[in-house]
Structure formats: structure tokens, C-alpha cells
Structure 1
Amino acid sequence: MPARRAVTGRSQDPRRRFAEELRLLRAEKGDSLRQLEEVLGWTASTFGKMESGQNLGSPEVVEALDQYYGTGPMLLTLWELAIADLSQFKEQYRRYMNFEGEAVGLWQYSVSAPPGLFQTDGYVREALVAGGFKGAELEQQIEARTSRRKLLEGDEAPPFRAILSEAVLRMSLRDAREWRCQLEYLLEVAERPNATVHVLPFGTGPHGLMNTDTMFLRLLDGRTVAYTENDVRGELIEESGKVERLHRTYDAVRDLALSPAESRSFILRMLEDLPCEPST
């Protein structure tokens, strides 16, 4: 059995730690992903996604890796911690969704994708397919996500202020027609009386929310909660001091952004720059 590993310097996030150990063990053994496929039977893609943190894999795969590397139950233990952490994330997300449905005011900063409440059906579909969804599960997820748009419709819709990094407008869909529809929808939303849209151009430089999608929800009881999300995890923040500090950061980012009128012109220029659709 390998010597005990030092903990110092390793990620404390369960999901990241699991992926990190998988990469290190394979590197120490000198195997390629293809060699793992040949020896253990699962595809190289499966192992690659596990090592990148995209997928945790199944307990059967993890047990096979423990046996192959001679690590006893170490990887399975890390896998169980990562699964538990992911379940906690899902519970936090469910609570966030409940709060979102009750919110009387919303503020958002988006890093690279339109806010969920601003996404068209075509955008949602392409994003979910890229994430591996298909079949009945894909259709269920599309319905669940697109139904959220109703929150911002009607006379009683809560106010929503969104700051979009320029990256949101540069990360186009593969389907040019659907991307045009998405930009047009952003312009439509920006015209609503309850919605305010800002664009944060690349030239504004570094800021406190560069890598973190952030949503603030003002609730009926007067509280404000925040939800932050990056590539590997999300966090629901309810402690008032932490929310206030994060909101000050958001306000500083808003001060860097274009005005609503300038932002609408920015999006309109991007729409005009899209190649014309081929005639049929």
C-alpha cells in the first residue's frame, strides 16, 4: 500500500480533492487514460471527466480504481464525501429556488452566460446538451428552466437588475439563429419597466466578482440572501454581514458598468454585427 499522503497543500473541497487524487495517482503510476480503459473496462472519457471534476463516476468505478492503485478504501471515502457535499449543494439550490419564487427584488451578476431568467428556450437546450443531458431528462430540464422566466412577467413582477460581463455576449451559441434570438430577447427584457440591464465591458479590468455568478434576493420579510456559483460549486449565503459585504462588491462592479441606455446600444451593435442569415 502506498505511503500515507501529506494533507498540506491539497484542496479542502471534497469534489476537487477527489479529482486531484485521481490525477495524482494516475500520474504516479505513469498510465494514460487509454491504459485505464484497457485495464479496467470503463472508457477513457469516463476517467477523464472524473479527473477534471465534471463527473464523480459510480462507486463501482471508484472501487475498481482503489483496487488498481492499491489505495484501500481511500478513493471510495473521498467519493462518498464528494457525493455528500454535492447533495448539500443540491439542498442549498432547492432552498435558493424557493427564495427566488418569493423574492420582491433581484440583483444578478453573470460571468459568462445570461441569467437563467433571461435565457431563451434555444439557449437552455444547447447549454443542457453540452452538459450531457439527453432524452426525457433533457426535456424535463428545459421545461423546468424556461418556466422560471414567468417570474419576471406580468404587472406584479419584481424588479430585476442584471449586470452582464461582456463575456456573456461573446460566448455565442453554435446555432447562429438561436444566438440571434437570445440577443433579441435580452433587448426585449431590457425594455421592460421592471428590468434593468447593464453590460460590463472587458476594458474595465479586474474586479471582485470576476469568476463568480452572483444573485441577491430581497425577501418579503425584509431580509436579503445571496447565492454565488462558479464552475464547481454553489453557496447560499444568509448571514447578513456576509451578504452586506458581497453587496458592496456588487455595487462597486455596477459602478464600472455601462448605463442601461449604453448597454442597450452595446447589445444592439452586437446584434447588428452578426452575419446575415442565408436566404432560403
Structure 2
Amino acid sequence: MNNLPARIKQLRAERAVTQDQVADAIQVSSSLIAAFETSRLVPQPDTAKALDEYFGTGDEIQQASAEARKDRRPAPSWFLPWRHAEETAATLRYFQANLLPGLLQTEAYARAVFASTGLHTDEEVASRVALRMERQATILDREDRPTFVFVLDAVTLRCGPPRIAKDQLLHLADVGARPNIFVHVVPDSAGLYAGRNGTFALATIEGGNMVGLLEDFYEDRVVAEPSRVTGMDRTWQAIGAVALPCDQSTNLILRLVNDHDDSAADLA
């Protein structure tokens, strides 16, 4: 059994430092350190190396992290090319028509999404949530800081149980405030537009080449054929033309947060 979470806690206690202090020292979020210590996430190679350097533990954390990752549920084979694109692309663009993108989901929202299908056991839901949180940490906290652009249909802001909606919306606004992440919302007033055809993503990699990802019911499809990727890019441009600017999108998100507060006050 891997004792990495307990070991990180022990090392932190020996140094008498907080999770915030460790996070600041290795330039990650404190929530990420908390996730390591509660077994929800496993440090990726770069983060594990930074922790070893901070604690002076040689390659102990790196080896323990590698072992822990072997025990995780492996990503499906179809996803591997896209995962590589996400880990190396200079620009990543995501359009979501129904649910919030996995990279922007809180842990509670992700758990609700996986549980809602009725197809997974509690253990499978927990495993999938852990993988999603690990993917977020790997992609959003990349050292080379790629540019992220998310375009969301307004309906995605209203999906999810009320008990988790407010925290999810606040998280969305918080992530959107990062300098390399841009969040746009397509308002209801857009009516019928190109995004009604479905959810997809585009990664621009070295040399300007693009790779696409199309969402499917059973498994997503990675698209690399130039003419199809060009078509996806044209659809992206059409969607962007009806999306709100970032500041107006954030205002819309925060108005929905206030609506939740007002609803709670009415029930009190």
C-alpha cells in the first residue's frame, strides 16, 4: 500500500510548515497539496521533483508518486493522443454545450456528473473523479503556461444540483481570472448557432498544427485529418462571434451566484 500521503504530511510536520507554505515554495495551489495528502491526487513528475527538492528527500517522492500512478485506473487508449496534445499544446480551446468542461469542474460537480449516469459503482465514481482532478492539476498548472480559451453555452451554468452550483460558479469565475485562461459564455439570446451541433476541443501544437477532439456518447474521438480540423476551427470562429467578452461573461456568472444567494435567503 502506497504511504505517500502520510509521508508528505510527515515531512511537512517535521518542517513545521503549512500546506500554503509548501504550495508557495513549489509554486502550486494549496488545494493541490491538500489533495496529495488526502490521496485524491498523485503528484505529477515535475511536482514530485519539486517536492523532493523542497524537502531534501532525494527522489523518494518521485518514486512513490510513480508507484502510486501505476495503481490508478489507466486512461482509455483513445484518450492518449489527446492527453499528449493537452500536455504539449501552446493553445487549448474548448467549447461545451451541455456540461461544464472537465478541466473547470469542482470535485463535487465532477462526482455528481459521474454518479448521474447510474453506470458506475461508488468506487468507479471515486476513481474517475480522482483522475479528473489529476488531469486538471497536470494541464491547468503546466509550467509553460499555455493559453486556454473556454467557450460555454449559458445552459452549462445552470446544470448541476443547487447544493453544488454556487461553489462551482465561484470556481469558474476564479479560474477565469488567471492571466492565461479566458472564459466566454454564449448567452441564451444567441438562439440557434453553430455550437448547437455539439461539444468539441482544439489544440494548437508546435508548428501551428491542430488536433481536435469530438465528444461522443461512448468515447470521444481524436481528429487529426487537416480538412476536418479546419472545419472544426471554422465552427469555433462562428461560435466565438456570438459569445460574450470575458468581462461580461464573468458578470453573468457572478449574477447567477447572487441568484443562488437570493434563493437561499428566500428559503431562510
TM class by shorter chain equals 0.5 to 0.7
How big is the shift at 1:148? Answer: 1.4
- Aligned amino acid, residue 154 of structure 2: E
Q: Which runs of 5+ in 2 are unaligned?
A: 1-75
| Aligned residue in 2 for 1:238 | 224
How big is the shift at 1:279? Answer: 10
Kept after mapping to 2: 8 A contact 1:212/1:230: no
Query: Which contiguous aligned blocks of 4+ residues in structure 1 show a shift greater than 4 angstroms?
Result: 277-280
How big is the shift at 1:157? Answer: 2.3
Kept after mapping to 2: 8 A contact 1:211/1:230: no
Kept after mapping to 2: 8 A contact 1:198/1:259: yes
Q: Does 1:94 align with 2:80?
A: yes
Q: Does 1:152 align with 2:145?
A: no
1:29-108 map, 5 Å:
90-108=76-94
Q: Could you tell me how far apart the structure 2 residues matched to 1:116 and 1:204 are?
A: 24
Q: Could you tell me how far apart the structure 1 residues matched to 2:170 and 2:228 are?
A: 36
Partner of 1:256: helix, strand, or coil? coil
Once the two structures are superposed, what CA deviation does each residue of 1:254-273 show, in whole Å capped at 9, x if it has no partner?
A: 01110101100010111100
| Aligned residue in 2 for 1:260 | 246
| Aligned residue in 1 for 2:127 | 140
Q: Does 1:164 align with 2:152?
A: yes
Which residue, 209, 214, 217 being the options, matches 1:223?
A: 209
Q: Which runs of 5+ in 1 are unaligned?
A: 1-89
Partner of 1:209: helix, strand, or coil? helix
Q: Could you tell me how far apart the structure 1 residues matched to 2:229 and 2:145 are?
A: 23
Structure with the larger helix share: 2
Aligned residue-pair number: 189
Kept after mapping to 2: 8 A contact 1:107/1:216: yes
Bigger-Rg structure (1/2): 1
Q: Does 1:200 align with 2:194?
A: no
Kept after mapping to 2: 8 A contact 1:104/1:218: yes
Once the two structures are superposed, what CA deviation does each residue of 1:16-54 show, in whole Å capped at 9, x if it has no partner?
A: xxxxxxxxxxxxxxxxxxxxxxxxxxxxxxxxxxxxxxx
Partner of 1:113: helix, strand, or coil? coil
Query: 1:125 and 1:277, CA in 2 relative to 1: closer, same or farther beyond 3 A?
Result: farther
Partner of 1:192: helix, strand, or coil? coil
* Identical-pair percentage: 25
Q: Could you tell me how far apart the structure 2 residues matched to 1:167 and 1:191 are?
A: 21
State the TM-score, normalizing by the size of structure 1. 0.63
Kept after mapping to 2: 8 A contact 1:117/1:152: yes
Partner of 1:199: helix, strand, or coil? strand
Kept after mapping to 2: 8 A contact 1:216/1:226: yes
| Aligned residue in 1 for 2:106 | 120
* Cα RMSD (Å): 2.1
| Aligned residue in 2 for 1:276 | 264
Q: Could you tell me how far apart the structure 2 residues matched to 1:133 and 1:157 are?
A: 34
State the TM-score, normalizing by the size of structure 2. 0.65
Once the two structures are superposed, what CA deviation does each residue of 1:138-166 show, in whole Å capped at 9, x if it has no partner?
A: 22111101111111126532110010001
Q: Could you tell me how far apart the structure 2 residues matched to 1:120 and 1:205 are?
A: 28
Q: Could you tell me how far apart the structure 2 residues matched to 1:188 and 1:123 are?
A: 16
How big is the shift at 1:103? Answer: 1.9
Q: Could you tell me how far apart the structure 1 residues matched to 2:142 and 2:149 are?
A: 17
Once the two structures are superposed, what CA deviation does each residue of 1:202-244 show, in whole Å capped at 9, x if it has no partner?
A: 2112122213111001123532100011435532110122211
